[in-house]
């Protein structure tokens, strides 16, 4: 990238350039540009999205180089994260509506997904059970150990739910020969949304053609601490209703708790414990109404 950057500086003759994360902003008399390393052929993606009536991405100025792309620079207006997430979910619902279709798949496709998630659940169960056995051995546990032991049942309950619902999902889907796919941004976060003269999603390097729920899982995991996600999810489901098997898999994936990391000191370990516990409680609160609705329906029947 360094060599291409020097060439581009000579072409655009910026009066200032700024490093921003993994990108470089060139400020020139003819406009501002942003240079990013090239991972995928986003020009091909952009052409497809335009053909589907979706153009909420930064304009690609130069894609001729092997290692970098040059994009227009979009100035963003500061706004609350709640509003940003509302706008993001509207854009993603639009993206999924305009690019979704049903794709032929074999039974092995669903089996592979099932076994992959099942393996992840088993790994986390073994990990947390081993950690519990280790911490339980202490006669006088530290504050972080006590915090973990006291909340272990919630972690275990979340994993039991994932295991049970994953089995239910597989029973529901294993005979299907089609699945719904769409263009998936695969990197959703408020940091990747800009709104100025127009609104765009940036950082499309990891895009996929896959199940739409991936975008919701990514946005939730990135923003669950910052916003009330219940309203955001309801907004998405209204604009892009998920099929029963999609919704069930979505709830499994977002309920799957993160792995507890080891911290260097007691204070940081308590914070890390709290991160995992907060995630579990917030996720349980998010999905509970959907299961309560199902239970209420079954009672009335």
| Choices 3.90.226.10, 3.30.200.20, 3.40.1550.10, 1.10.10.10: CATH for 2-73 | 3.30.200.20
Q: Give CA–CA dist 214/241, Å, rounded.
A: 15
**What pLDDT score does 28 carry?**
83
How far is 44 from 36, CA to CA, in rounded Å?
17
Of the listed ranges 54-63, 89-98, 230-239, the least confidently predicted one is: 54-63
**pTM for this structure?**
0.89
| Closest listed residue to residue 26, CA positions, set 61, 57, 76 | 61
Q: What does the block give as tokens for 254?
A: 């977002």
Domain ranges of the chain: 2-73, 84-300
Angle at 82 between CA 78 and CA 85, to 5 degrees: 90
Tell whether the model's pLDDT for residue 99 goes beyond 90: yes
Per-residue pLDDT reduced to its tens digit, 226-258: 899 999 999 999 999 999 999 999 999 999 999
Sort strands 16-20 and 23-28 into parallel, antiparallel or unpaired: antiparallel
Domains 2-73 and 84-300 equal at CATH topology level? no
Q: Which CATH number fits domain 84-300: 3.30.930.10, 3.40.50.80, 3.90.1150.10, 3.90.1200.10?
A: 3.90.1200.10
Reported as a single tens digit per residue, the pLDDT across 136-150 is 777 678 999 999 999
């Amino acid at each position: 990238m360094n060599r291409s950057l020097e060439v581009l500086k000579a072409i655009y003759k910026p009066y200032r350039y700024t490093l921003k994360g993994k990108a470089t902003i060139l400020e020139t008399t003819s406009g501002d540009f942003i240079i990013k390393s090239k991972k995928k052929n986003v020009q091909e993606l952009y052409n497809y999205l335009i053909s589907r009536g979706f153009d909420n991405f930064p304009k690609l100025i130069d894609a001729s180089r092997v290692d970098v792309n040059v994009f227009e620079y979009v100035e963003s207006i500061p706004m609350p994260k709640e509003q940003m997430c509302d706008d993001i979910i509207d854009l993603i619902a639009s993206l999924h509506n305009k690019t979704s279709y049903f794709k032929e798949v074999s039974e092995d496709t669903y089996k592979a997904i099932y076994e992959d998630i099942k393996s992840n659940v088993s790994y986390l169960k073994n990990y947390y059970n081993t950690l519990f056995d280790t911490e339980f051995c202490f006669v006088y546990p530290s504050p972080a150990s006590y915090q973990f032991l006291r909340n272990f049942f919630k972690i275990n309950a979340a994993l039991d739910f994932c295991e049970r619902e994953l089995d239910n999902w597989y029973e529901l889907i294993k005979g299907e020969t089609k699945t719904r796919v769409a263009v998936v941004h695969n990197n959703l976060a408020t940091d990747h949304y800009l709104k100025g003269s127009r609104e765009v999603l940036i950082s499309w390097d990891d895009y996929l053609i896959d199940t739409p729920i991936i975008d919701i899982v990514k946005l939730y995991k990135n923003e669950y601490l910052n916003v009330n996600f219940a309203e955001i999810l309801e907004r998405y489901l209204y604009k892009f209703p998920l099929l029963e098997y999609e919704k069930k898999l979505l709830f499994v994936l977002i309920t799957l708790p993160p792995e507890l990391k080891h911290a260097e000191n007691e204070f940081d370990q308590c914070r890390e414990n709290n991160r995992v516990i907060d995630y579990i409680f917030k996720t349980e609160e998010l999905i509970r109404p959907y299961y309560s609705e199902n239970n209420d329906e079954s009672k009335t029947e």
